[in-house]
Amino acid sequence: MKKVWLITGSSSGLGRHLTEAVLQQGDIVVATARNPEKNQDLKSKYGDQILSLALDVTNRQQMEQVIKESIERLGRIDVLVNNAGFGITGAAEAFSQEQVRSQYEANLLGPVELCRAVLPYMRAQRSGRILNISSIGGRITSIGLSIYQSAKFGLSGFSEALAKEVAPLGIKVTAIEPGGIQTNWAGSSMRFAAAVEGYESTVDTRVEAFKNGGFVPKSDPVKVAQVIIDMAENPEPPVHLVLGSDAVAVFDQENAAREAEYKQWLSVTLSTDADS
């Protein structure tokens, strides 16, 4: 039976590659984007196999309308991919309130609300797959990405908790946690805070790398898209899936540092138990 996928951020980057790959394998896609006209070529090629709808993931009313129309026209939603989002770089103190809010709304609150809105239908079906596109930055941290990565930490944590909650309902949840992907994430999609004195050797170095091609992503978006499709089919997918050799390198290093710190302070950790 053909699956019905709902993919956010489907008009560019990884979302576009994934949408094309799902359509090519014969499944049906509700392709959502802020500018759905960018998918007109796919609509012309695949016809009724694609339902192209406008969706800003920070707009709850629009989100509910998309789900309502999807169910009315297609009858079900089998796979939800929360892909829409964007990055922002700068010193934590330098971000504007609007920049901070927009990161959490797009990268955390939007995906959480879309999961919550889709779950009643998956619960009724007693089946479904949710794949949240987080980041290796949802497991480790980097200078200059405090706001972006804290949102991704939230998304990875939410995914893990949700996976435990919905397992008896036949619903599987996976946080996809890639390193750099060869898309425009660090290019035209990246936004920046204003520069602040004192961060020349830390944050400014990261900003310079993003602006001048010093950031070299390892993962091929076509390969990442295929992995996502494979996870939607896998009977026992992981809750967390790290992707890319760059992600592995920083993940292993950070895990070792955390383990060493934990053991160093273990006596203090255990010292707070009540005497009784």
Is 262 one of the catalytic residues?
A: no
* Conformational region of residue 9, where left means phi above 0, alpha means psi within -120 to 50, and beta covers everything else: left
**DSSP states of 119-134:** HHHHHHHT-EEEEEE-
* Conformational region of residue 85, where left means phi above 0, alpha means psi within -120 to 50, and beta covers everything else: left
Q: Are 146 and 94 in contact (CB under 8 A)?
A: no
Is 104 one of the catalytic residues?
A: no
Residues in contact with 102: Cβ distance below 8 Å, sequence separation at least 6, in sequence order: 58, 88
C-alpha dihedral over 122, 130, 232, 41, to 10 degrees? 100
Backbone angles phi, psi at 94, to 5 degrees: -90, -20
Backbone angles phi, psi at 196, to 5 degrees: -130, 135
- Residues composing the chain: 276
Catalytic residue among 3, 11, 152, 156: 152
Catalytic residue among 12, 102, 134, 135: 134
Q: Are 184 and 17 in contact (CB under 8 A)?
A: no
Is 46 one of the catalytic residues?
A: no
Backbone angles phi, psi at 140, to 5 degrees: -135, 170
Catalytic residue among 52, 148, 150, 199: 148
Catalytic amino acids?
Answer: 134, 148, 152
